[in-house]
Chain A
Amino acid sequence: MPVELLAFFDQLWLARFPLLRGLGLTVAISSLAIVAGTLLGVFVGLALTYGARPLRWIVRGYTDFVRGTPVLVLILASFYVLSTVGLHLNAFQAGVLALAVFCSSHVGEIVRGALLAIPAGQTEAAKAIGLTFRQTFIYVLIPQAIRQILPTWVNTAAEMVKASTLLSIIGVGELLLSTQEIISRNFMSLHFYFFAGLLYFAVNFAIERFGNYVERKTSLPT
């Protein structure tokens, strides 16, 4: 084995705890943002699809604004701007909030698209047997919408993992920042950035496999 590679493994072993902590934080931030963003996004999607006019306009404004803003700006804003109005979030909280908001606007559009893609006849058939709107939504629309949403949602979840690297800017010690700190000690930038890249890939690959699994489990026989 080349000497250089041996040196890398040596350094990797030394840096194992900071790296694991970074990876753990990346996973924690992404999961929190995805869960919160998805929950919020479902409401955003509902408001966009069925909301009364003023509500729909407000939510439409929210999604357009958030989607038209770079994530980095959202992160900086939630860290620096919110504190000027008395809302003091630490870097981790501010970062998760920004990512969740970003995620919610995307999930909102996905949910809206999926609900609109269900033929009107489905709602009519549900009405015709006397189901209320709430029952129609729970038993007829959601099960069909979820199957539509899943592939795009997996995509968004992977985007969130990638976007979490931006939290390094406000000093959250996620995987990218811990990698940079390690590199500043051993100067093995090529190796460690490559290794960090592999870890990000592993996380997103896991998300994708999980998505495929759920898709297979819920697909309808034809």
Chain B
Amino acid sequence: MPDLLEIRDLHKRYGETEVLKGVDCDMAKGDVVCVIGSSGSGKTTMLRCINMLEEFQGGTIRIDGQVIGYDVVEGRRRRKKEAEVARQRALTGMAFQQFNLFPHMTATGNVTLGLVKVKKMAKEEARGLAEQWLDRVGLLSRKDHYPGQLSGGQQQRVAIARAIAMNPKLMLFDEVTSALDPELVNEVLQVIKDLARDGMSMLIVTHEMRFAYEVANRVIFMSQGRIGEEGDPREMFVKPRTERLAEFLKNSTFH
């Protein structure tokens, strides 16, 4: 059975600086994988390569068997056409650190845009589905509010609903609680935990160690553009095999 996500020897450079130095990663359907590591270790970059928000210079990424972003024609690597890249991006859903809700649309409008324009769903049907998901994240009563009228935590939950409603095969979370006030973090983490319970496949970059410990069935520790260590959080967090992870965990707070 093909993996849901298969990353092989991923290399990414910004000019002279190599930020990903050969990353491999596999995920099966239903996996919840948390990526931890200090800033600059390449966690976010890896996530952004998966949905082609970043170009990458070497290696392959496959989602559900499809090669993402590039074709190899006569030995030369060529970026796929924009329309194809756009179509492949819909295989994944992404939630961002800064929420990035569209400020000129209501909560419902944010969720239905992709459904109507990308999935070509009828407006009524899209609205029904949007309300269903807004209800799931506990915000049905706020469906006609604009992002500016919502708290950070509420905005992030709408952003998650917007991504999930597109029915992606894999959800990517990029430090979704980092921009939130501490008292708003839990409502967002709770939404993600609920999704995990429903069997959603998720790749989560996070600084919340307690959350990673609770929700992940596998944790990847990234360090200096490589995967430093990976495994079951119950073993990794208790008994880190590498010096680097031990050091990182020592400086992290569990709350």
Q: Residues on A close to B: CB < 8 A?
A: 119, 121-122, 124-133, 135, 139-140, 143-144, 147, 220-222
Contacts and interface: CB of A to CB of B under 8 A. Distances in A.
Given A220-B146, A221-B148, A222-B148, A128 B104 contact: no
A144 B103 contact: yes
Contacts, number: 76
A126 B103 CA distance: 12
Given A127-B86, A140-B102, A135 B51 contact: no
A130 B98 contact: no
A147 B114 CA distance: 22
A147 B51 CA distance: 30
Contacts of A133: 82
Interface in B93-126: 93-94, 96, 98, 100-104, 113-114, 117-118
Contacts of A130: 86-87, 89-90, 114, 118, 166
A222 to B, nearest CB: 4
B163 interface: yes
Contact of B146 (A126, A135, A221): A221
A130 B83 CA distance: 9
Given A221-B146, A221-B149, A128 B117 contact: no
A132 B149 CA distance: 28
A147 B102 CA distance: 13
B148 A124 contact: no
A220 B102 contact: no
Q: Which applies to chain A's interface (DSSP): helix, strand, loop or mixed?
A: helix
6 contacts: A122-B102, A125-B159, A147-B104, A220-B148, A222-B146, A222-B149
Contacts of A122: 100, 102
Contacts of B43: none
A132 to B, nearest CB: 5
Contacts of B163: 128-129
Top 8 nearest A-B pairs (CB, nearest first) are: A130-B90, A129-B114, A125-B100, A121-B100, A222-B148, A128-B94, A130-B118, A143-B104
A129 B104 contact: no
B103 A129 contact: no
A131 B86 CA distance: 6
A56 to B, nearest CB: 19
A129 B149 contact: no
Contacts of A139: 113, 117
B207 interface: no
B44 to A, nearest CB: 12
Given A147-B104, A221-B149, A222-B148, A131 B53 contact: no
A124 B101 CA distance: 10
A119 B53 CA distance: 15
B149 A127 contact: no
B162 interface: yes
B162 A129 contact: yes
A102 B104 CA distance: 31
Contact of B82 (A124, A126, A129, A132): A132
B166 to A, nearest CB: 6
B100 A124 contact: yes
